[in-house]
Amino acid sequence: MTPVETDGKNRIGLTIADYKGAKSTLCPGCGHDAITGSIIQAAFEAGLEPHRVAKLSGIGCSSKTPAYFLGRSHGFNAVHGRMPSIATGVSVANRTLTLLGVSGDGDTASIGLGQFLHLVRRNVPLLYIVENNGVYGLTKGQFSATADVGSKAKSGRVNELMPIDVCALAIELGCGFVARSFSGDPKQLRPILKAALSHRGTAVVDVISPCVTFNNHEGSTKSYLNVKEHDAPLHDIFFIPSYENIEVDYAPGESREVTLHDGSRITLKKLGEDYDPSDALRALETIHHGRQEDKFVTGLLYVDPDKEPFEQDLRLIKTPLASLPLEKVRPPKEVLDEVMGALMTGKY
Amino acid sequence: MTPVETDGKNRIGLTIADYKGAKSTLCPGCGHDAITGSIIQAAFEAGLEPHRVAKLSGIGCSSKTPAYFLGRSHGFNAVHGRMPSIATGVSVANRTLTLLGVSGDGDTASIGLGQFLHLVRRNVPLLYIVENNGVYGLTKGQFSATADVGSKAKSGRVNELMPIDVCALAIELGCGFVARSFSGDPKQLRPILKAALSHRGTAVVDVISPCVTFNNHEGSTKSYLNVKEHDAPLHDIFFIPSYENIEVDYAPGESREVTLHDGSRITLKKLGEDYDPSDALRALETIHHGRQEDKFVTGLLYVDPDKEPFEQDLRLIKTPLASLPLEKVRPPKEVLDEVMGALMTGKY
Amino acid sequence: MKATTNDFSIHVATVNGSGSQTANTTLLRTIFQMGVPVSGKNLFPSNIAGLPTWFTIRVSERGYLARTRHNDVLVAMNPETSVQDIGAMGPGSILILNEGVPAPRIPEDRTVYKIPFNKLVEPLVADVKLRKLVVNMIYVGVVAHLLGIDLTEVDRALSAQLGKKPKALDMNRAAVRAGADYATRNLKSAPFRLERRDKTEKKILIEGNQAGALGAMFGGVTFLSWYPITPSSSLAESLMAYLDQYRRDPKTGEATFAVIQAEDEIAAIGMVLGASWTGARAMTTTSGPGLSLMTEFTGFAYYAEIPAVIWDIQRVGPSTGLPTRTSQADILSTVFLSHGDTKHVILLPATVEDCFDFGMRAFDLAERLQTPVFVLSDLDLGMNVWMSDPFSYPDKPWDRGKVLDAEALAKAGTFERYRDLDKDGIPYRTLPGTDHPLAGYFTRGSGHDEKAKYTEDAETYKRVMDRLARKYDTARSLVPPPVIERTPGAEIGILGFGSSHWGIVEARDLLAAEGLKTSYLLLKAIPFTSDVESFIKSCDRVYVVEQNRDAQMASLLRMDYPGLAMKLRSILHYDGLSLDAQSIVDQVREREGVLAR
Amino acid sequence: MKATTNDFSIHVATVNGSGSQTANTTLLRTIFQMGVPVSGKNLFPSNIAGLPTWFTIRVSERGYLARTRHNDVLVAMNPETSVQDIGAMGPGSILILNEGVPAPRIPEDRTVYKIPFNKLVEPLVADVKLRKLVVNMIYVGVVAHLLGIDLTEVDRALSAQLGKKPKALDMNRAAVRAGADYATRNLKSAPFRLERRDKTEKKILIEGNQAGALGAMFGGVTFLSWYPITPSSSLAESLMAYLDQYRRDPKTGEATFAVIQAEDEIAAIGMVLGASWTGARAMTTTSGPGLSLMTEFTGFAYYAEIPAVIWDIQRVGPSTGLPTRTSQADILSTVFLSHGDTKHVILLPATVEDCFDFGMRAFDLAERLQTPVFVLSDLDLGMNVWMSDPFSYPDKPWDRGKVLDAEALAKAGTFERYRDLDKDGIPYRTLPGTDHPLAGYFTRGSGHDEKAKYTEDAETYKRVMDRLARKYDTARSLVPPPVIERTPGAEIGILGFGSSHWGIVEARDLLAAEGLKTSYLLLKAIPFTSDVESFIKSCDRVYVVEQNRDAQMASLLRMDYPGLAMKLRSILHYDGLSLDAQSIVDQVREREGVLAR
Ligand SMILES: Cc1ncc(C[n+]2csc(CCOP(=O)(O)OP(=O)(O)O)c2C)c(N)n1
Ligand SMILES: Cc1ncc(C[n+]2csc(CCOP(=O)(O)OP(=O)(O)O)c2C)c(N)n1
Ligand code: SF4
Ligand code: SF4
Ligand SMILES: [Mg+2]
Ligand SMILES: [Mg+2]
C-alpha cells in the first residue's frame, strides 16, 4: 500500500531525492541516521510539499538531523531544549504549515521537559520525534533522564534514577497521538510517522535510537542488541492515506482501524493480545508493566483523532497571521479617534 | 491521638507560639493562610525542632507564606519556579535538616514544571506543598496551568486547556508520597502533613486553596463553594507518630494501615469503597475518573514508604557536607605529590 | 496669606484593596475636567490587599507632571503610616486627618482638618464592608470643598465613571455630599484653590502601558506571547482588551492576532522568535526577572538575525527587588544581554506619546534590522496616569524589512540568507511557506556562512561577526534620534532619558530661574546617533541623569566616547520613587558649587 | 642549509574519531621525555566522528607555548582538507603527505615526503577497521626518524601509555617501526632536528580544566552540580574522577562530596546556591549558553548575598556559536549578568597554575564576599595541553568567611544578617541547622532590611544597595592582583589576560628584538585593583589585547578610568583560533607605524 508510482515519483511528482538533505555528519551507524531515512521515505510517500514544511529541532546529535532531510524546507535549529516554544510560535503564525520537530532525550526530557509538556498541553499541531538513546551523544555520553535503571555507562557508572517516559507523560497531558518505535524497525516506524503527519494535533513519537559511540556497549539497555531483544510490538501497523481507498480485510477481531481527522486510516493488525489504543489508562498500564518487565513496548500507544488543536482555542482567522496585509491588522483612523475621544473625558 | 500535653507544650517542650511566624500580609480569607495554620499545628504536634527545619519557596502569594510560620527556622524564598533546585542543594548539603517547601500552582505547574518533576525523580527528601488556587494570585488573577477546563476568570475569559495534575505527574515520576487535600479541611490536611513530614523521600501534597480575591466567584471551579461541593475524600486519615503506640482498632476491612520508614503509622478509615494507596495505576485511574466527574478526589493517593531517598544514591557520608572540617575535604600533600608525579611522566 | 491656585499636590494615604482607587480617580478626573493640567501617581505595595498605598495628584497650571518631594495636601486615612506621612509634610501644607488616626505634634505653619470619617459614613451605608469603600468618597467631598471645587464637577466625573451602576452612583454621590457638607459647616478655608482653566481641552489622560498597547495594535501586531509580571502585565492585558475589541470579526469572532500566555519567559520569547521567523509581527512584555530569563534566546536572535519586540517595564532590581517601584537599571544588562559578542538595540520612551510611537516603530526597526529590539520603559511611565496630546494616526505604512517572496526570488534567481548585498550589514530573508525552490534555508545559532550553511571556518565566522557589527552601525541611522534643546550661552548640558524627562524639564526651569542655564539632550535610543556625540562636544560638562546606582548610561557613553569621557558627570536617583525635580536641582547645585538657598 | 633544532611546530591533519589522538599524544610525550619544552593544541569539530581535526605540537627550546601562525612540519592525512592545509604551509616547511591525498602545486622551498601509509599498514594489521587506527602510528615513526628521534624514546612513551595493553602495544610499536624503517630507506633528511635537553625535568603536562579540577578538590569542594557542555565538561568530569579516587572512603565508599548532573543550568546554579547557603563549598562549570541561563539566579545570589563558584570555560559565541573554538567574549555579559544594578566578581586564569590556584581561591573569595565568583577560563587554556611547574600544596587553610555558629551567636547576643558591622560591606551569616534561637533568618531576592525582613522602604533599599557597592570595592583589595612587568624606558604598555598571555609573552620578545620596548600587565581579576590604574598612568599608551570583537575589557577599563580612556588601544583577535604572537606583533607594528619587514 505505498503510494509511489512506478516512475519513482510520488503523487505530487517529486522523487525521493527531493526529500533528502545535506550529508550526515553523525557517526556511521548512528540510530538517528536510520530515523532520518524513515522520515525521508515517509515524507516522500505522504507526498508532502517541501515548501510547506517547517523543520524544527533543539540541540544535540539528534537535533542536527533536520539538516539531513527535506533540504528544500525551512529549518530552525533552536537552542537546547526550547524547540517546543519555537514550534508554538511557528504553528500559530502560519497554521497552513506542516511542522516536523526532531529532538533528543536530553533535549526533551532534561532541559526541555517543561516546554515539552506545555506544548503537549496546548496540543500544538506538529509531529514531535524524540530520538531516544538514553545518553547525551553530542557531549560524549553522559546519562540522560531517559536512561534505564541499571544501565551502565561507558565510564562504568550505573544509572540509579528512574527513566522519564515521554510517552507516559504525553498521555497524562492529554496528547492525541502517542507512539513508540525503534530506529532499527523502519517497517513499523514509517507508517507511524505518516499517520502522525496526518494527525491534526501534537503527535509524539518516541523512537529508541541507539548511540553506537557512547551507548551501544555491553550493559547498556539501549544498545542495538538489547533493544532488539526486548522490543515488544503491540501490533503491526499500516497506514492508508485519505486519498487512497484501499480495502484491507482481515479476519474479524484480527485487526482494528482508526480513522484520522483528514480521513486517512491506521490499521492495527493484532499481535498476541488485542490492544485498544483509544484507552489512555490502558496505555499507561501497558507502559508501566512493560517497564517492570524490561520490555520496550512499541507501536501506537494512544490515539484520539478528534482532539481540538490549539489554533481552534485561539479562534484564529483562516489566513495565516504571517500573511495578513496592513489593512487587516491596522484599524482605521476612526478607531484611534474613538479611543482618543474616550481618553479625553479622562476615562483612561 | 494528638501528642500535645495538657500544659500546651509539645514533646520537645515548645508551645504553639514557637511555631508561628510574622503576621500574614495575604488577603483576609485567603486559603493559603488556612494552610499556614495547618502547617503550624502539624509542626507543633510533630514536635519539629525549629532550627532543624529549612523553609523553602518560590514566588507568589503562596510562596510568601513561609515567612508566616516557623519564624525561628531558616527560610529561603527563591526565584519564581526554581525552589526545587534550591531544595536539592540544601538537602544534599545537610542531610539532617527537615525541608518544608511551599509553592503555588503557577510556581510549580507553569514556570517550575521541569524542576518540580526532576526533583520528584531524584526523590529529594522534603515535604513539597502546592497551594493550588488555579490562578496567579500575586499578579492579579491570570489562569495558571492547573485551572480546570471551563473555569471562568473574573475577566470573563474561560479556560479551555486541560489542567496539569501535579499529583498524577508526581506518581508517574515515581514519587513515594502523593496526597491531595483542601485548605478548608484541616481535619484531613493536618494528618497528611504530619505523615508527609515523616516520609523519607519527596512528599507531594497538593492543597486546593481558594483565592478569595481573584478566583472565588461564580463560575470558578476553585471557589470555596465549588470545591466544598465537589470534594470527594477517599478515606478518613489518622497519623500515629513513631513515638506513640496507640492501638486503633476498627472492624476488619474498615481500615488500612501504612507504616512509614520511621515507624510512624497512617491509618486510613474507609469511606465508601475501599482504596489501596499502594497501587500507582489505581491512583492514576482514580485521578482520571475524578476529573471526568468534576470531583476533587482528596486523601492519600499513593504511598511507597520504602523508596530510596536521593542521598543514598549519592552514597553520602553521614556527617552533613556543610559541617565537614578542612582535613576531611583537603587531601594530604602526598596526594598532590602523587598526582604531580604522574603528570611529570607526561601522562596528563 | 494668599491662596495658591492650580499649583499644588494632593497626597492620599490609604491601604490597597480598600477602594480608594475610585475616589482618587474621581478627584483626578474632576480636576482634569476643569481644564487644569494634572497627573496621578500610585505608590502601591507588592501584595494584593491590606498594605499601605499612596496616591498622589499633581495639579500644575504650568503642566509639570513630575513627582514633587513635598506634598501640599495630605489625606491621612491609614493609621499604620500616618505618623510618618504627617512627618513628611512640608511647611504651609494642609492635613486632612481621619479622626482617631495617630498623629505626631504638628508645627504651627501646617493646617489640620480633623474629619470623623467613620461617623460620617455610618448614616450613609448599613453594610459594614461597604462602608470601608464608600468612606473614601467622603474625603473627595472634603477636598473638593477645601479647594473650592463645585460639586457638580465631581458629579460629572463620578457619573462618567459609574454611569452604568446607578445604585453605586447614588451612594458615592451621597458620600461626596456628606464630606462637602461637613467641611462647609466645620472647616475654615484652605490656602489652596482650584480654578477652571482651558488647559486640558483636547488632551488625554493615559497610562504608558496602555499607550504602548495602542501603539502595538496600530503597528499591526499579530502575535503576543507573555508571562505575567508587574509592572508589565497591564501592557499585555490592555493590548488583549484592545485586540478583542478592534481586531476580531464581530460576527465570526475570528481574530487577526494570537495571544498566548506562556508557561514562563523563556517560552514567551521562544514563541515570539518562532512567530516572527515565520512572518508574524511578534512581541512580548516583561520586567527584570523575565528579561534575565530571556538571555539565552535573545543572544540566539541576535546571531541568527530574527526580529523580536521586547518590552521591559523596568522595576527595582536586582532580582525580585521592589516589584512595585520604578527604576532604570536594566540598561547595561540589556545592551549586553547574552554571552559572546552580543549587542542589542534599545528604545527609550520618555512620554506616553513615545510609548505609542515606539509601540509601532519597534516592529519596523526589528524587522528592518532583523534583530531583537528592546523597549525599556519603566513603572513610573508605564503604570501612572499622564496627561498628553492625543496620539496621531500613523502617516506611513509599516516597514516589513528585507523579505523576498516567491516572485522576488524568481526575479533574483539566487538567494543567500546572510549575504550583505546592500553593504548595510542587513541581509535578506524568506518566510517558510514561500513557494519557490530557492526559498528554504536553515536557521541556527551555531556558526554559519552566507548561505546559512553550518561552518566552523575561522574566516567565515569573522566575516559574519564583522557584518553584524556593521549592521549595528546601520542601526544608528535608523533609531529615533534624541530631542535636543540648545540654550544659547549654556555651558552645562543635561542628558537624560525615559521617565526622568519630566523631572529634568522642571529642574531646568528651576535652575534657569537661579541663573544656571542648561542645554538638554533627551536620549531616545541605543546605539547612540551621531548628534549625541556632537551635543556632548558642544557642552563644557554634561550631567547624565539616570535612575540607577551604577551610572549605567554614563558608562555606555564613556565606552563609546572615550575622548569625551571626562565631560560626563552623573546624577543618580535610585530609591525606587519616581524622580522629582528638586533632587536634580540639588545635585547640580552642589556640583556647580552653588549654595542651596 | 642548516637544520633548525628544538624550535618548530608539527601540524597533524586527520579526522576525529580516527584514533590519531593516541599517535599525537605519543609524539608529544616523546618530545617531553627528551627534555624539550612542548605544548599541544587540538583543533576539533563540534561533532563526534568523521570531520576534520588538527593537532599541533609546538616544540620550543625557549619555552614558548602559544600557537604559531605557520607550521614547520605538516602531516597531511585528511584528503578533505589537504589542499587547504598544504596551501597554508610556510616557506622552508616540510610536508609528510599521505600518498593519494590530493595536493596543490607546492613551491620549491618546501620539502615533500610522500608516504604510502595504507600500503605500509596492510602487512601489520589484518582487520580493516583496526588499520584506520594503527595507520596513525606510522606517521609517528616517520616524524621520529625525520627529526632524528631515537625510537627507544618513542617506545618509552608508548609503553607509558599502553603499558596495560600488551597486544595494542606491540601492534603500535610495529607501526612506529614500519614508519621509521620506510623513512630510513626512502627519505632524505629534514631541516628540523630534535635534540635531548633537560628543560622539562620536574615539569608537568596538564590541561587547564584538569588543573582547575585539582584546585577545586584541594580547595575542599563538597558540592558540584553541572550540566554537560563543551568545553567545560572535562572540568566536571576530571573533578568527578579525582573525587572518586581521593575523597571516598576506600572501605565504605562513602563520599565527602556530592556531584549532581542537573537537568539544566538553571537547576545547576540553583542547587549550588541551595548547597552553599546551607554551608557546602559549592561550584558549577559551564560555558556561554549555560551562563546565559544562569542569569536570573546569579542576580539573586548577588542581592541575597550567597556564595557560589561558577566556572565559565569560554567558547565562541554568540549563541551556540562555535562550541569547539576558543574566545574571551563573555566579559561584559558576565560582569553585568542579570537585570538591575548587578555587578559580579570575575577571576581570569592565564596559566594552568592559575587554574589550580583559582580552583581553591574562588571558594575563599566567594565565601568571604558572600557573592558569586566567576572564573572565566577558555577552551584554549582549558582543553589544551600545557607544560608547567608542578603545583604546590596550599600553605594556608581555607577561608570560610563571616559565619557565626551557635557559640558565636551566644557570645554576640544579637544577630542581623545584613548589618555592616565591619564597614567593609560584608555582613555575617548563619547556616541552617545552627542550634541557637537567634540563628534563623529569611533569605529573599526581594527588598530586605538589615534584619533580612521584607521591606519596600526607599531609604532602606538604597542603604542596602550602597553597602553592596561598598562590598564590591572591598573585593578590589581581595582579588588576585595583576602581574606587572615594567620595562625601563618603555612608552608602550600591553595589558592582557587569560590565554592571551602566551601570545603576548612571545610577541613582547619579538617586538623587543625590533627595538619596541613594552611593559606588561597581566590582569587576573575584575573589579580592577589600584595597580591597574597606576600601570596605565605610567604608560604613554596601552594596548589591550583580547580575544573578542567588541573590545570588552577595554570598554570596562574606559568605564572605570574615564581619565585614562584615551590611552587605551585595542588589539583584537576573534576568529576562534588561539592567539598567536605574530598577530599581536603585526597590529602593534601597524599602530606604531613601524613597517613590517
Ligand atoms: C544551554 C545548553 N546547555 C548545554 C549544551 C550542551 N549540549 C549540547 S547537546 C547536549 C545534549 C544532547 O543530548 P540529546 O538531546 O539526548 O541528543 P543526542 O546528542 O543524544 O542525540 C548538551 C547538553 C547546550 N548546547 N546548551
Ligand atoms: C521570572 C518571573 N516571572 C514572573 C514573575 C511574576 N510573578 C510573581 S508571582 C507569579 C505567579 C504566582 O502564581 P502562583 O505560583 O500560583 O502563586 P499564588 O500567587 O497564586 O499563590 C508571577 C507570574 C516573577 N516574580 N518572576
Ligand atoms: S555520538 Fe552517538 S548520537 Fe551522536 S552521532 Fe555518534 S552515535 Fe549518534
Ligand atoms: S490574591 Fe488570592 S492568593 Fe493572593 S493573597 Fe489574595 S486571596 Fe490569597
Ligand atoms: Mg540522547
Ligand atoms: Mg496560584
Tell me the pLDDT tens digit for each residue of A220-243.
999 999 999 999 999 999 999 988
| Ligand 4 geometric centre to CA of B46 (Å) | 28
Q: What is the pLDDT of residue B248?
A: 67
B223-230 long-range contacts, CB within 8 A, separation 24+: B224/B31, B224/B184, B227/B182, B227/B184, B227/B296, B228/B182, B228/B184, B230/B294, B230/B295, B230/B296
Instruction: Give per-residue pLDDT as tens, D422-454.
Output: 999 999 999 999 999 999 999 999 999 999 999
| Ligand 3 geometric centre to CA of A83 (Å) | 20
Q: For chain C, say whether A85 makes contact (Cβ under 8 Å).
A: yes
Best of C234, C260, C294, C399 to disrupt the A interface by mutation (most A CBs within 10 Å)?
C260
Task: Name the minimum distance, in Å, from the CA of B230 to any CA of chain C.
Answer: 28
Contact C566 D568 (CB under 8 A): no
Binding site membership of B104 for ligand 2 (Cβ less than 6 Å): yes
Instruction: Give per-residue pLDDT as tens, A71-118.
Output: 999 999 999 999 999 999 999 999 999 999 999 999 999 999 999 999
Compute the half-sphere exposure of residue A17: CA atoms within 13 Å on the CB side of its CA.
1
User: Taking CB atoms and an 8 Å cutoff, what residues of chain D touch A111?
Assistant: 227, 263-264
Contact D228 A110 (CB under 8 A): no
Instruction: Give per-residue pLDDT as tens, D206-217.
Output: 999 999 999 999
The DSSP element (H or E) to which C511 belongs, if any, is helix C500-513
Q: What is the pLDDT of residue C597?
A: 46
CB D78 within 8 Å of CB D13: yes
Task: Name the minimum distance, in Å, from the CA of A12 to any CA of chain C.
Answer: 14
In a 10 Å sphere around its CB, with 0-12 CB exposed, 13-18 middle and 19+ buried, how is residue D228 labelled?
buried
Q: CA-to-CA distance for D381 and D388, rounded, in angstroms?
A: 12
Residue D218 is nearest to which of B314, B330, B348, comparing CB atoms? B330
Query: What phi and psi values does residue C11 have, to the nearest 5 degrees?
Result: -120, 115
Contact D223 B93 (CB under 8 A): yes
Ligand 4 atom at minimal distance to the Cα of residue B32: 8
**Residues of chain B above pLDDT 90, percent:** 89
> What is the pLDDT confidence band of residue B312, given thresholds at 50, 70 and 90?
confident
Instruction: Give per-residue pLDDT as tens, C364-377.
Output: 999 999 999 999 99
Cell for D368?
568571604
Strand partners, A180: A206, A299
- Count Cβ atoms below 10 Å from residue D127 Cβ, excluding itself: 9
How far is C-alpha B223 from the geometric centre of its chain's CA atoms? 22
Task: Name the minimum distance, in Å, from the CA of D256 to any CA of chain B.
Answer: 6
Please, where are the H alpha helices in C88-150? 117-121, 128-147
Q: Are strands C345-347 and C525-526 parallel, antiparallel or unpaired?
A: antiparallel
Binding site membership of A68 for ligand 3 (Cβ less than 6 Å): no
In this predicted structure, the answer to whether residue B175 has a pLDDT above a threshold of 60 is: yes
Please, where are the H alpha helices in chain B? 31-46, 61-64, 83-93, 105, 113-122, 166-172, 186-198, 224-230, 280-292, 310-313, 326-329, 333-344
Query: What phi and psi values does residue D53 have, to the nearest 5 degrees?
Result: -145, 150
Mean pLDDT of D378-398: 97
Q: CA-to-CA distance for D529 and D475, rounded, in angstroms?
A: 9
Whose cell is 495534575? That residue is B165
Residue closest by Cα to atom 6 of ligand 3 = A27
Q: CA-to-CA distance for D373 and C175, rounded, in angstroms?
A: 60
CA-to-CA separations, D60 to B145, C426, D31, D202, D581, in angstroms, rounded: 63, 45, 10, 17, 14
Residue C228 is nearest to which of B28, B136, B145, comparing CB atoms? B136
Cell for D226?
553541572
What is the 3 state secondary structure string of C367-386? HHHCCEEEEEEEHHHHHCEE
> What is the pLDDT confidence band of residue D164, given thresholds at 50, 70 and 90?
confident
Q: What is the pLDDT of residue B2?
A: 46
Mean pLDDT of A266-279: 92
Q: CA-to-CA distance for D287 and D375, rounded, in angstroms?
A: 11
Chain C (416-455) residues lying within 8 Å, Cβ to Cβ, of chain D: 444-447
Q: What is the pLDDT of residue C162?
A: 85
In a 10 Å sphere around its CB, with 0-12 CB exposed, 13-18 middle and 19+ buried, how is residue C108 labelled?
exposed
| Ligand 1 geometric centre to CA of A137 (Å) | 7
Residue closest by Cα to atom 13 of ligand 1 = A136
Q: Are strands A296-303 and A177-182 parallel, antiparallel or unpaired?
A: antiparallel
**Residues of chain D above pLDDT 70, percent:** 99
- Count Cβ atoms below 10 Å from residue B13 Cβ, excluding itself: 10
Q: For chain C, say whether D296 makes contact (Cβ under 8 Å).
A: yes
Contact B74 D266 (CB under 8 A): no
Instruction: Give per-residue pLDDT as tens, A26-53.
Output: 999 999 999 999 999 999 999 999 999 9
State the DSSP code for C449: -
Residue closest by Cα to atom 5 of ligand 3 = A26
Instruction: Give per-residue pLDDT as tens, C215-250.
Output: 999 999 999 999 999 999 999 999 999 999 999 999
Compute the half-sphere exposure of residue C533: CA atoms within 13 Å on the CB side of its CA.
10
| Ligand 5 geometric centre to CA of A88 (Å) | 23
Ligand 3 atom at minimal distance to the Cα of residue A133: 3
User: Taking CB atoms and an 8 Å cutoff, what residues of chain B touch D204?
Assistant: 340, 343-344, 348
> What is the pLDDT confidence band of residue C1, given thresholds at 50, 70 and 90?
low
Contact B281 A280 (CB under 8 A): no
Instruction: Give per-residue pLDDT as tens, B100-159.
Output: 999 999 999 999 999 999 999 999 999 999 999 999 999 999 999 999 999 999 888 899
Contacts of A252 (CB under 8 A, 6+ apart): none
The angle subtended at Cα D212 by Cα D211 and Cα D214, nearest 5°, is 65
C291 SS3 class? helix
Q: Where are the beta strands (DSSP E) in A81-133?
A: 98-104, 126-132
Contact D223 B84 (CB under 8 A): no
In this predicted structure, the answer to whether residue A2 has a pLDDT above a threshold of 70 is: no
Q: Which residue among A136, A207, A222 has the greatest number of ligand 1 atoms within 8 angstroms of its CB, and so is best to mutate?
A: A136
Contact C559 D559 (CB under 8 A): yes
Using CB atoms, list chains with 3+ pairs below 8 Å to chain A: B, C, D
pLDDT averaged over every residue in chain B: 94
ipTM here: 0.97
User: Taking CB atoms and an 8 Å cutoff, what residues of chain B touch A286?
Assistant: none
Q: What is the pLDDT of residue A311?
A: 86
The angle subtended at Cα B279 by Cα B268 and Cα B247, nearest 5°, is 25
Query: What phi and psi values does residue D367 have, to the nearest 5 degrees?
Result: -80, -35
Q: What is the pLDDT of residue C19?
A: 83
- Count Cβ atoms below 10 Å from residue D118 Cβ, excluding itself: 14
> What is the pLDDT confidence band of residue D597, given thresholds at 50, 70 and 90?
very low
Residue in D with minimal Cα distance to A137: D48
Q: Which residue among D46, D47, D227, D266 has the greatest number of ligand 1 atoms within 8 angstroms of its CB, and so is best to mutate?
A: D227
Q: CA-to-CA distance for C9 and C6, rounded, in angstroms?
A: 9
Residue C289 is nearest to which of D316, D339, D568, comparing CB atoms? D339
Q: Which residue, D98, D514, D578, is CA-closest to D385?
A: D578
| Ligand 6 geometric centre to CA of B223 (Å) | 12
In this predicted structure, the answer to whether residue C333 has a pLDDT above a threshold of 70 is: yes
Contact A113 B111 (CB under 8 A): no
In this predicted structure, the answer to whether residue A1 has a pLDDT above a threshold of 50 is: no
Q: For chain B, say whether A282 makes contact (Cβ under 8 Å).
A: no
> What is the pLDDT confidence band of residue D17, given thresholds at 50, 70 and 90?
confident
Binding site membership of B34 for ligand 4 (Cβ less than 6 Å): no
The angle subtended at Cα C77 by Cα C154 and Cα C6, nearest 5°, is 45
Q: Where are the beta strands (DSSP E) in B98-194?
A: 98-104, 126-132, 135-136, 142-143, 177-182
> What is the pLDDT confidence band of residue A346, given thresholds at 50, 70 and 90?
confident
In this predicted structure, the answer to whether residue D536 has a pLDDT above a threshold of 70 is: yes
Whose cell is 563526534? That residue is D48
Chain B (15-34) residues lying within 8 Å, Cβ to Cβ, of chain D: 22
Contacts of B318 (CB under 8 A, 6+ apart): B95, D254
Mean pLDDT of A263-278: 92
State the DSSP code for C442: E
In a 10 Å sphere around its CB, with 0-12 CB exposed, 13-18 middle and 19+ buried, how is residue D407 labelled?
exposed
